[in-house]
Chain A
Amino acid sequence: MGKPAPIPDQASAFFWEGAARGELLVQRCEDCRAFQYPPTVVCEKCQSRDVRPTRVSGRGTLYALTVMHQAFLPVFAEDLPFTIALVDLDDAPGARLLANIVDADPGGLTAGDPLEVVFEPRGDYAIPQFRPAAAQRAGAA
């Protein structure tokens, strides 16, 4: 059995479909301009229903991470240890995504480090993941 693939709903379909095309899209309110994540049915700031998918650069900043040493789902056991992180998007203030950190030793990361999105195919879609930003990776090499 494979790893769980996201099951989109009406409010989130654009996000997973965008990821499948290699685009990171988050909701932005056309009325108050606030960004938000996860996607939902109204703007949580002003209750406008005019929340639109907006493409962002995929650059982000590490807010927090945890390194999983125990797989609560057996399907993730072969990945241990793996890293789950919260990432603040640089050009969408207020949007904080959860993802795995890939291509990095988490011990070498610090809150505030620059990250960039990559997409991992999953089921019919793809899921956004984050790795250290290119400059960071070059510096480490």
Chain B
Amino acid sequence: MSGQAAGRRATVVGVGYSSVHRELGVDTRPLVVDACVAALRDAGLTPTGIDAVFEYPGVGSQSAVNVQRLLGIGDLKAYGDLGGSGPSGLAAAMAAVAAVESGSCDVALVFRSVNREWGQQSGRVEVPPAGNAAQFTLPYGDFGGIIPSMGMRKYRRLAELGGSEEDYGQIAVNARRWAAMYERGVLTKPLTMDDYLSSRFVAEPLRLLDCDYPVTGACAAIITTAERARDLAGQPVTIDSVAFGTGSRPDWTFSDDLLFGGTIGCARRLWEKSSVTARDVDVAELYDGFTHITISWIEALGLCGIGEFGDWVDGGKRIGPGGALPLNTNGGQLAAGRLHGLAFLTEAVQQLRGDCGQRQVPGARVAVVANAHGPQCGAMVLTRE
């Protein structure tokens, strides 16, 4: 960051995962401990070395201080539960970057823990009260998280920018290709375009296979200064640039830009602060809670022009294994399960360290990571020294 002492440049020095579960009723507490301990081991650290904890809360999560206690970490210099309105799980890492670079803390643990129940809200019997913001949506049956909004985003994109349903299908088909090479892959059976096009509508034109797959699990990362990283065992990955975005009328429903939300401004700020450009990206890990989100980020980040995704993706070749721009190299949330955002960061770190085995992108030195959409956008550029 400009004006930032080089020694305090935020760096990722460890990542870790728990096991990932498809069944209901799994307690996330041991899983979040597993993920955090794995990240600490990866960094060559013990809990006593941590002085900050950040997480994105929600169904199935544990608060930062609960995890502090479960891990026996001492008094924290910085902490936060950054939920609700932030850029999904990446929000925790973005807060850690700010805290580390400002000098508020030196070594931050960040995690996201979620359960499958969070993604099983359909058919819920209780009708919540249609007050506050819900008075303008709930009476119309607009319920189910952001699913109706995503249906309208896909509809409006097809109406305004053209393209085809196959464009969306390329994101879904690509996810399975990569997940087949990932040890934590959940949906590893290949998907054909016909499978995608015959999957049922949830909120037409949004199809079931446009939506990510709910799981129970946790992932974690350790963020510290470049100076401190030099004393640690692992290969550090530099956080080159960080940016947020909300759009000018931030709302999931009543937005002035349903197609891109905050992605455009976020991407512009990201590249303004970065030491590299969109042309330098070797691997992209872009949120795929819904396929529309991934396409938005590809265009907003300038990996191709606005409305040009369909041609650019080249029948899927460009984003698949061996392609010019490998995308979501662990299968993303569509095929490796919804660990809700932070796993895009941990996968990017593993790619830049060359730890990805058969799914490794050869010689990857620059990764771009993005989370969420609409009013909750966040992104990072990561580089290997």
Residues of chain A having any CB pair with chain B under 8 Å = 1, 3-9, 12, 16, 37-38, 44, 63-76, 79, 81-82, 84-86, 96, 98-100, 106, 110-112, 122, 127
Contacts and interface: CB of A to CB of B under 8 A. Distances in A.
Nearest to B150: A66
B132 interface: yes
B151 to A, nearest CB: 3
Give the bracket for the number of chain B residues in contact with chain A.
35 or more
A68 B132 CA distance: 23
B202 to A, nearest CB: 5
A66 B204 CA distance: 5
B323 interface: no
Contact of B123 (A3, A44, A72): A72
Interface stretch (B35-43, B56-64, B138-146, B283-291): B138-146
Contacts of A5: 130, 139
26 contacts: A3-B127, A4-B129, A4-B130, A4-B138, A6-B131, A8-B135, A9-B132, A9-B135, A37-B254, A38-B133, A38-B136, A64-B155, A64-B156, A66-B155, A69-B203, A70-B203, A73-B141, A74-B124, A74-B125, A76-B143, A82-B141, A98-B253, A100-B141, A112-B159, A122-B139, A127-B140
Contacts of A82: 141
B148 A66 contact: yes
Contact of B121 (A9, A72, A112): A72
B127 A1 contact: yes
Contacts of A16: 135
A67 B254 contact: no
B135 A6 contact: yes
Nearest to A120: B139
B203 A111 contact: no
A75 B132 CA distance: 20
B75 to A, nearest CB: 41
Contacts of A8: 135
B140 A98 contact: yes
A86 B202 contact: no
Interface in B102-134: 121-125, 127-133
Contact of A76 (B141, B153, B154): B141
B258 A64 contact: yes
A84 B127 contact: no
A4 B144 contact: no
A86 B258 contact: yes
A67 B159 contact: no
Contacts of A122: 139
A64 B152 contact: yes
Nearest to B130: A4
Given A69-B200, A69-B203, A69-B204, 5 more contacts: A4-B128, A4-B130, A66-B154, A84-B141, A86-B152
B265 interface: no
Contacts of B124: 72-74
Given A4-B129, A69-B200, A70-B203, A12 B141 contact: no
Given A1-B127, A111-B155, A38 B203 contact: no
Nearest to B158: A111
Contacts of A12: 135-136
Interface string B251-289: 001100010000000000000000000000000000000
Nearest to B132: A9
> In the complex, which of the residues A4, A8, A69, A122 has the most CB atoms of chain B within 10 Å of its own CB atom?
A4
A81 B204 contact: yes
A4 B139 contact: yes
Given A1-B127, A69-B200, A64 B140 contact: no
A25 to B, nearest CB: 14
Sorted from nearest, which 6 A-B pairs have the closest CB atoms? A66-B151, A72-B144, A7-B131, A111-B159, A67-B204, A64-B156
> In the complex, which of the residues A7, A44, A68, A110 has the most CB atoms of chain B within 10 Å of its own CB atom?
A68
A66 B203 contact: yes
Nearest to B144: A72
Contacts of B254: 37-38, 96, 98
Nearest to A8: B135
Contacts of B122: 70, 72
B204 A6 contact: no
> In the complex, which of the residues A7, A16, A64, A66 has the most CB atoms of chain B within 10 Å of its own CB atom?
A66
B155 to A, nearest CB: 5
A12 B129 CA distance: 15
Contacts of B144: 70, 72
Given A4-B138, A64-B155, A72 B204 contact: no
A69 B199 CA distance: 12
A63 B122 CA distance: 26
A5 B131 CA distance: 9
B202 A84 contact: no
